[in-house]
Structure 1
Amino acid sequence: MTKQILLFAPVLLLWACGDSSSDSVGTSPIQAAEIIPFTDSRDGQVYKTVVIGSQTWMAENLNYETKGSCCVRCAEMKTVNVNYAPGGYFTQSYCAKCAEYGGRLYTWDVATTACPSGWHLPSQDEWSTLFNAVKLGDPLAHIDTRLKSTTDWNNYGNTDDFSFSALPVGYSGISVGPYGSGDCYNHEGTGDYAYFWSSTEVDNLTAYYMYLSKYGNAAISTFDFGKSSGFSVRCVKD
């Protein structure tokens, strides 16, 4: 089994927001989001989607099984015999079915092609557009609380005003086995962080990602993680 190791990149924090306080006079009211179902024709999975500003986003993490992805939580394990020549056969367990919670985590290379037809991995600029839409003209708005789910986080006060419902599934390394997808290893940050890939590269080792934290941060960054890291994927409509 080959392990893809987390790579560490130089600090390059582009844009952070939501650290300050909130209600401003004259900002636009928050409208209740309309949830629209979308069925992925590749595997029949149904995702909630939501319109935020000028964009249509998946309101759930992608859960499409492909090589270079791993389960956040496994619903069904299977055991197989694998021939590792010249040592012979060994018994190995793997996740045969992901739990619905949190979707899957993906390496960057896989994430760039994982979204279904008509959808794509958002660019750095598209994440910035989402941040601006969520602020509703209030420069002091708490972007993080407006995007986070109201459950599972190790902090309080999240409002999920736009039904984006970001879950704190953390991040992981991904071990790639002979069955297509892999296993998560060194999984950290559950309850504290949500990480989402962007399609925008920095170089052959790093790419931009969006993250939310329990500490009140919402940012687009390249700090600490390389393309082999396992992050969540949110698809945006073409």
Structure 2
Amino acid sequence: MPIKKSKFIDPRDNHVYKTVIIGKQEWFAENLCFATLDGFYSYDQADPDVRDDLDDLEVDGGYGYLYTIEAANMAAPEGWRLPSESDFIQLARAVGVPKMQTIRFLSKFLKNSLFNCDKRWDDGAVCECIQSLSWNDACKDPFGFSAIYSGYGYLIESESDGYREQFLEFKGRGGYEEEDPCVEARLWMSSECDGKPAYFFIEKDRVGFSNKLDRTNIDTFVNPVQCLCSVRLVRDVT
């Protein structure tokens, strides 16, 4: 299937994003890094209220910010949207996932079609360019979607003696965390399940929708606003 690489300049901050047209959809080919009023964080940010230059360099390099669902819902520029479950299913069909494929797990085939170099899991070997922020074309997926293990996080609140404190916890970042056993990408969706926000996840051996799978053994948060996920945006093309 022919694909077309393109770009989008966000008029709000003039940031240039790589995009790719797959089928009848145009997708961001990197994670969103727009600074909303609140609710956006960089991976391994130590203080919820402070970011340093290294954080910003990594964010601009392709990993983007991790957002609360509230911030994600406000982050899209005009004409773009958070993808729904049906958007991801349309993407899956466009890259060749057969219609009889279960929706609960869209198979490793879909992951291999959308994911940037994943050779770290081939017999334990680590590809030097995995998750490279240089976006080496030789290590990209065939459709240019370029998903990476951008990790996820939690914004946790605690209260003691009338004092309220927030702190951050992060998991699942690939690349430099070679010993991390649970590398993962989570992309917010506009779809909900029982009134709770859902996300599209990409793991080592599977991809799928959080609202189609009991992930209570993975997700420890109670309030969904505490979960921090990446954002990929989509829009329809004619």
TM-score normalised by length of structure 1 = 0.67
In the alignment, the residues of structure 2 paired with residue 73 and residue 149 of structure 1 have an alpha-carbon distance, to the nearest angstrom, of 22
In the alignment, the residues of structure 2 paired with residue 184 and residue 232 of structure 1 have an alpha-carbon distance, to the nearest angstrom, of 18
Question: 1:8-157 alignment to 2 at 5 Å?
Answer: 30-31=1-2, 33-66=3-36, 67-72=38-43, 93-95=50-52, 98=56, 99=58, 100-135=61-96, 137=98, 142-150=109-117, 154-156=120-122
Compare the two structures and name the one with the higher strand fraction.
Answer: 1
Q: Does 1:194 align with 2:160?
A: no
In the alignment, the residues of structure 2 paired with residue 73 and residue 43 of structure 1 have an alpha-carbon distance, to the nearest angstrom, of 24
Higher relative contact order (CA 8 A, sep 6+): 1
Unpaired segments ≥5 residues, structure 2: 102-106, 128-138, 158-165, 175-182
Flag the structure with larger Rg.
1
Question: 1:196-215 alignment to 2 at 5 Å?
Answer: 196-204=187-195, 206-215=196-205
Change (3 A) 1:129 1:173: same
Compare the two structures and name the one with the higher helix fraction.
Answer: 2
Between the aligned residues of both structures, percent identity stands at 31
8 A Cα contact 1:70 1:174, kept in partner? no
> How far is 1:172 from its partner?
0.5
Equivalent residue for 2:155, pick from 157, 163, 174: 174
Residue number in structure 2 paired with 1:228: 226
8 A Cα contact 1:62 1:104, kept in partner? yes
> How far is 1:171 from its partner?
0.6
In the alignment, the residues of structure 1 paired with residue 34 and residue 41 of structure 2 have an alpha-carbon distance, to the nearest angstrom, of 10
> How far is 1:101 from its partner?
3.3
Change (3 A) 1:117 1:129: same
8 A Cα contact 1:172 1:184, kept in partner? no
TM-score normalised by length of structure 2 = 0.67
Superposed CA deviations along residues 112-158 of structure 1, whole A, max 9, x for unmatched, are 1211111011111111111121225486771011110126x742498
Q: How many residues align?
A: 184
Residue number in structure 2 paired with 1:25: none
Unpaired segments ≥5 residues, structure 1: 1-29, 80-91, 177-182
